[in-house]
């Protein structure tokens, strides 16, 4: 009885060794979660590779085998060693979809691997290449057929394109209109209040210092005298500033439009304003000499130019003296 038990154990060990020796060093299994789906639905394509630890696997390009499908997601698990099978397991999971109806086939996935001569002899496998130190083999998975169905239309959906439905009318309650009116009143009140505030807002008062015509004329004459126009030989410009200063003074002082009048016209305006005749004659002579320089290219000497400046100054001073008397 004892001998028979020993013989039985030896028998099982030999059977297990024979099975292990005849078992291929690498297995590939492919499967799909669904083989019959509607357009746009998703399926999971799984490839499981089980290999002996001494097998050198060439990583397969699973995505290149799925060109007719749209890959939405993928995950690779492993390689992990399974202690109960003494195998190294790698799992590829791809989430696929397609938007065209028809019959499709996921082709077999070819996985290549290498074995050392020692492992090849242990498995009793023939050499693939006698010249190489390592032997290269390949294993293929199963092809999987997938049917993609289109959406079946009912009698109400026989037309692909329907007419546009009219817009829906949404009934509003009385509270809605009252709330809307209140909001509009608040907005209008805010705008009105802002406008009133802008009108009543205190603004800084601008204070302007009053300057008499004499003060303005004196300032311009001083600026002219301090210029280098005479030294630079710009006689025409000098006399233009001199005569226009006196003309502006007369207009500001007596309210006579003199800037656009000729010398003769200005003389007539001053006479009609009942100004003193000697004063009018003085201004006429002064402006006539200025006109000769401005328009007739007359070039007076330095004494004459100084005398004309003093005449302009005396015109302003004389009238100021008369105002004080």
Q: Are residues 50 and 143 in the same domain?
A: yes
3-class SS of residue 9: helix
| Closest among 104, 114, 8, 110 to 55, alpha carbons compared | 114
Residue 88 lies in a domain: yes
What are the tokens at 72? Answer: 């939405």
Among 149, 164, 195, the domain boundary falls at 149
Q: pLDDT (tens digit, 9 = 90+) per residue, 240-289?
A: 999 999 989 888 888 888 777 898 988 898 898 888 889 889 999 999 98
Strands 36-38 and 144-149: parallel
Residue 272 lies in a domain: yes
Residue 192 lies in a domain: no
Long-range (24+ apart) CB contacts under 8 A made by 243-246 are: 243/286, 243/287, 243/290, 243/291, 243/294, 245/217, 245/220, 245/221, 245/312, 246/217, 246/283, 246/286, 246/287, 246/312, 246/315, 246/316
How many structural domains compose the chain?
Answer: 2
Helices 263-272/235-254 angle, 10° precision: 20
| Closest among 30, 252, 51 to 145, alpha carbons compared | 30
Q: Are residues 126 and 239 in the same domain?
A: no
DSSP 173-193: -HHHHHHHHHHHHHHHHHHHH
Q: Are residues 133 and 242 in the same domain?
A: no
Cβ neighbors of 241 (< 8 A, separation 6 or more) are 220, 224, 229
Cα–Cα distance measured from residue 181 to residue 48, given in angstroms and rounded to the nearest whole number: 70
The mean per-residue pLDDT over the stretch 171-197 comes to 86
pLDDT of residue 12: 45
- What CATH number does residue 34 fall under? 2.60.40
Q: Which domain holds residue 94?
A: 22-149
Q: pLDDT (tens digit, 9 = 90+) per residue, 199-248?
A: 776 555 455 567 888 899 899 999 998 988 888 888 899 999 999 999 89
Residue 6 lies in a domain: no
Q: Are residues 128 and 230 in the same domain?
A: no
């Amino acid at each position: 009885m004892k001998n028979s038990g020993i013989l039985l154990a030896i028998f099982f060990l030999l059977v297990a060794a024979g099975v292990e020796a005849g078992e291929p060093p690498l297995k590939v299994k492919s499967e799909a979660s669904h083989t019959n789906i509607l357009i746009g639905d998703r399926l999971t394509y799984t490839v499981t590779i089980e290999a002996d630890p001494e097998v050198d696997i060439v990583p397969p390009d699973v995505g290149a085998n799925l060109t007719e499908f749209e890959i939405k997601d993928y995950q690779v698990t492993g390689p992990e060693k399974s202690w109960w099978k003494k195998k190294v397991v790698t799992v590829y999971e791809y989430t696929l979809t397609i938007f065209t109806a028809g019959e499709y086939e996921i082709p077999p996935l070819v996985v290549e691997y290498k074995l050392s001569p020692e492992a090849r002899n242990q498995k009793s496998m023939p050499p693939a290449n006698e010249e190489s130190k390592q032997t290269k083999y390949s294993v293929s998975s199963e092809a999987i057929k997938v049917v993609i169905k289109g959406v079946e239309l009912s009698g109400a959906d026989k037309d692909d394109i329907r007419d546009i439905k009219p817009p829906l009318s949404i009934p509003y309650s009385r509270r809605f209109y009252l709330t809307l009116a209140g909001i509009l009143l608040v907005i209008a009140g805010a705008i009105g209040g802002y406008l009133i505030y802008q009108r009543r807002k205190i603004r800084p008062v601008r204070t302007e210092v009053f300057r008499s015509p004499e003060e303005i004329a004196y300032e311009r004459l001083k600026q002219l005298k301090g210029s280098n126009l005479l030294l630079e030989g710009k006689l025409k410009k000098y006399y233009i500033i001199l005569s226009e200063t006196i003309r502006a003074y007369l207009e500001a002082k007596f309210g006579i439009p003199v800037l656009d009048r000729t010398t003769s016209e200005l003389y007539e305006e001053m006479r009609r304003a009942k100004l003193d005749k000697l004063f009018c004659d003085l201004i006429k002579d002064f402006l006539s000499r200025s006109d000769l320089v401005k328009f007739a290219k007359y070039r007076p000497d330095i004494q004459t130019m100084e005398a004309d400046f003093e005449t302009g100054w005396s015109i302003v001073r004389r009238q100021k003296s008369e105002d004080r008397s």
